[in-house]
C-alpha cells in the first residue's frame, strides 16, 4: 500500500500524552504540512497559534473549564458539548488532554471557506504528525467557545486577531497510550454514478 495512504488509515486520535515536548524539527515539519494545505481560491488566511508554554496552557485549560461550567445543558444539544459542560461542572476537565503543544487554528470572520480551509490545515498536520510518530487530536472546544468574551480576550493576548474566528485546534505530543488499530468502517456512504 502507498505509504501516505497507509499513514492516513493508521492515524488515530491520541488522548494521553507524555510530558516531553515535541522536537523543533518535528513541529516545524507538522506546521509546514499545515501551511501547504489547500485553501479556497488559494486564499491562505488560516492562522496557526502554537502554544507550548505550560503556564499559558494551564490558564487556557482553567478558563475553558470555567466557561463551560457556566453553561446550561439543553435538550438536543450536541453530545460532545454536553460532555464538556458535565466534565467542567465536575471540575476535572482537560479539553486538550494535557498535551505539551496546543495549536489553535483561526481564519477570517465572514470568509465562506474558513472552516473548510482550517479543516484541511488540521488534517494535513494530523497526517504529518502520525507519519512522525507524534500523537494528535482534533480539538473543537475553543471553536465552540469562539463567541465567549472571556475566551476571546485570552486568545487576543496570544495573537488571535479581532477579524478572526476560531475554527478548531490540535493537541500534539508523544503518545502515552497504545495506539489502537483502525476499526472497520461501517459508515461514510459511497455512491457511484457511472
Q: Which domains does the chain have, with CATH numbers?
A: 3-173 (3.40.109.10)
In order along its 194 residues, the chain shows pLDDT tens digits of: 799 888 888 898 999 999 999 999 999 999 999 999 999 999 999 999 999 999 999 999 999 999 999 999 999 999 999 999 999 999 989 999 999 999 999 999 999 999 999 999 999 999 999 999 999 999 999 999 999 999 999 999 999 999 999 999 999 999 998 877 777 878 888 889 99
Which conformational region is residue 98 in: left (phi greater than 0), alpha (psi within -120 to 50 degrees), or beta? left
What phi and psi, each to the nearest 5 degrees, are found at residue 114? -55, -55
- The CA distance from 165 to 116, in Å, is 13
- The CA distance from 138 to 107, in Å, is 16
pTM for the structure as a whole? 0.93
Max CA-CA distance within the chain? 56
Tally the residues of the chain.
194
Can you read off the three cell numbers belonging to residue 17? 500524552
Amino acid at each position: 500500500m502507498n505509504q501516505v495512504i497507509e499513514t492516513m488509515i493508521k492515524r488515530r486520535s491520541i488522548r494521553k500524552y507524555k510530558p516531553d515536548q515535541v522536537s523543533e524539527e518535528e513541529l516545524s515539519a507538522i506546521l509546514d504540512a499545515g501551511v501547504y494545505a489547500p485553501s479556497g481560491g488559494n486564499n491562505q488566511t488560516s492562522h496557526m497559534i502554537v502554544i507550548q508554554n505550560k503556564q499559558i496552557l494551564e490558564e487556557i485549560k482553567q478558563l475553558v473549564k470555567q466557561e463551560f461550567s457556566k453553561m446550561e445543558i439543553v435538550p438536543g444539544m450536541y453530545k460532545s458539548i454536553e460532555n464538556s459542560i458535565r466534565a467542567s461542572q465536575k471540575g476535572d476537565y482537560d479539553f486538550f488532554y494535557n498535551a505539551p503543544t496546543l495549536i489553535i487554528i483561526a481564519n477570517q470572520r465572514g470568509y465562506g471557506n474558513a472552516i473548510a480551509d482550517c479543516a484541511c490545515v488540521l488534517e494535513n498536520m494530523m497526517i504529518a504528525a502520525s507519519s512522525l510518530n507524534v500523537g494528535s487530536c482534533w480539538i473543537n472546544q475553543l471553536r465552540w467557545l469562539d463567541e465567549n468574551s472571556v475566551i476571546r480576550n485570552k486568545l487576543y493576548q496570544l495573537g488571535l486577531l479581532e477579524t478572526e474566528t476560531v475554527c478548531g485546534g490540535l493537541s500534539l505530543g508523544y503518545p502515552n497510550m497504545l495506539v489502537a488499530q483502525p476499526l472497520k468502517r461501517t459508515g461514510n456512504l459511497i455512491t457511484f454514478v457511472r
